């Protein structure tokens, strides 16, 4: 493909995830799983499942009535009217990804349904507090056992963030994980609301909830399974594969939408995001590691490609065409200036921001191998 870039199609060990974190009353923060579509026996009696498609390995994809999806079981969405597509000038034109997930080779979900994986290799088993920051000045406070290599904008009124993320299959050990994501947030402490999306290698490790287990993510796409595996992935000195991700606020409805490529996947209603009912004050792009230190020292779990950013294209992982949307008129995505850089432990994982180029736009390289003589 031209310029050496390819867009990822999904199967294998890397998983597409959407994550939400918010503070509501105790009765509203539980994650509601689709228990009714977990087994063969229950599916026979579940009228919301209109079709089942064979996926990779033992995975089965249930095509569930869009109006009977898990998010709508929540009390806050009892009378919610689904917004079937974003409206207004903020609609995002992304990059066409083609056939994105391998289960679609075996069939398509019919109109009026969304695909939900009945059995998934990706499960959310571990948890952590979300990153915190001082809302008056940008002081990033990583939660225990988590490390970051990221760029951010802080202090404005932001309505969206997007980029193309290089996709790899980093090594992961001891239920640790490696995550590449775009993150939008506002507030701190108990007032923090944030949403993020990206790819993950490992078992999880975020507070809030993932994918359709979130009580508030409303899916509208019939083409993508959140939590579904991805392939192919980039190889060292070989072909490079990217995935286009964007999160943006629809100012007509107030919802925060997630796009993958040209496809609008769904949205987080602002009902669940008290601090994001207006604009965000922080947008961030980059990598994250959960380090359990299960072996008594720093994890060997890799970030990005597992190589440091100074190795450059084809060797280090990158995020390219980084853009954001603010409150200026018209509401359009633009290149950032003055990106704030942050690396928790540069000897373990680091990043390098590069000048804008025609193919890469505003971009940066990030990542690293983890445990070494310099990283303990």
Looking at the annotation, which residues are catalytic? 196, 288
- Between CA 94 and CA 84, with CA 166 as vertex, the angle to 5 degrees is 30
* H or E element, residue 12: none
* H or E element, residue 243: strand 240-249
Place of tokens 């597992």: 306
- In eight-state DSSP terms, residue 245 is E
Rounded CA separation 287/284 (Å) = 10
- CB of 28 closer than 8 Å to CB of 215: yes
Place of tokens 């990158």: 318
Which tokens belong to 349?
């994982």
- CB of 229 closer than 8 Å to CB of 211: no
Rounded CA separation 85/71 (Å) = 17
Rounded CA separation 300/302 (Å) = 6
**Phi-psi domain of 371 (left: phi exceeds 0; alpha: psi -120 through 50; beta: other):** beta
Strands (E), 173-296: 177-186, 193-201, 209-210, 218-219, 229-230, 240-249, 256-260, 263-268, 280-290
The alpha carbons of the chain give a radius of gyration, in whole angstroms, of: 19
| Chain-centroid distance, C-alpha 244 | 11
Rounded CA separation 277/265 (Å) = 20
């Amino acid at each position: 493909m031209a310029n050496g870039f390819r867009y990822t199609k999904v199967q294998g060990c890397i998983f597409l995830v959407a994550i939400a974190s918010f503070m509501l009353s105790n009765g509203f923060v539980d994650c509601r799983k689709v228990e009714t579509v977990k087994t063969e026996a229950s599916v026979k009696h579940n009228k919301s499942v209109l079709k089942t498609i064979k996926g990779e390995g033992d995975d089965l994809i249930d095509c569930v009535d869009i109006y009977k999806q898990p998010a709508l079981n929540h009390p806050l969405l009892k009378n919610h009217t689904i917004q079937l597509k974003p409206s207004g000038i903020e609609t995002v034109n992304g990059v066409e990804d083609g056939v994105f997930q391998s289960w679609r080779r075996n069939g398509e979900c019919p109109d009026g349904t969304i695909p939900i994986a009945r059995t998934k290799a990706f499960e959310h088993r571990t948890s952590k507090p979300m990153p915190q920051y001082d809302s008056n000045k940008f002081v990033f406070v990583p939660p225990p056992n988590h490390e970051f290599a990221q760029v951010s904008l802080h202090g404005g009124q932001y309505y969206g963030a997007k980029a193309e993320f290089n996709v790899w299959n980093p090594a992961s050990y001891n239920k640790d994980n490696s995550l590449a994501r775009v993150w939008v947030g506002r507030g701190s402490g108990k007032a923090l609301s944030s949403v993020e999306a990206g790819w993950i290698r490992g078992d999880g490790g975020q507070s809030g909830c993932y994918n359709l287990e979130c009580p508030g993510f409303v899916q509208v796409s019939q083409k993508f399974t959140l939590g579904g595996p991805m392939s192919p992935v980039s190889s060292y000195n070989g072909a490079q594969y990217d995935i286009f991700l964007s999160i943006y606020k629809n100012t007509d409805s107030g919802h925060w939408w997630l796009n993958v490529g040209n496809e609008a996947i769904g949205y987080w209603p602002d009902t669940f995001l008290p601090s994001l009912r207006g604009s965000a004050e922080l947008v961030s792009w980059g990598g994250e590691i959960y380090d359990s230190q299960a072996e008594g020292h720093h994890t060997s779990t890799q970030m990005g490609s597992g190589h440091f950013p100074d190795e450059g294209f084809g060797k280090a992982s990158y995020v390219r065409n980084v853009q954001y949307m603010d409150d200026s008129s018209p509401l359009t995505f633009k290149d950032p200036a003055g990106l704030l850089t942050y690396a928790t432990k540069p000897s373990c994982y680091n990043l390098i921001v590069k000048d804008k180029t025609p193919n890469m736009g505003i971009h940066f390289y990030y990542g690293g191998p983890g445990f070494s003589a310099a990283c303990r």
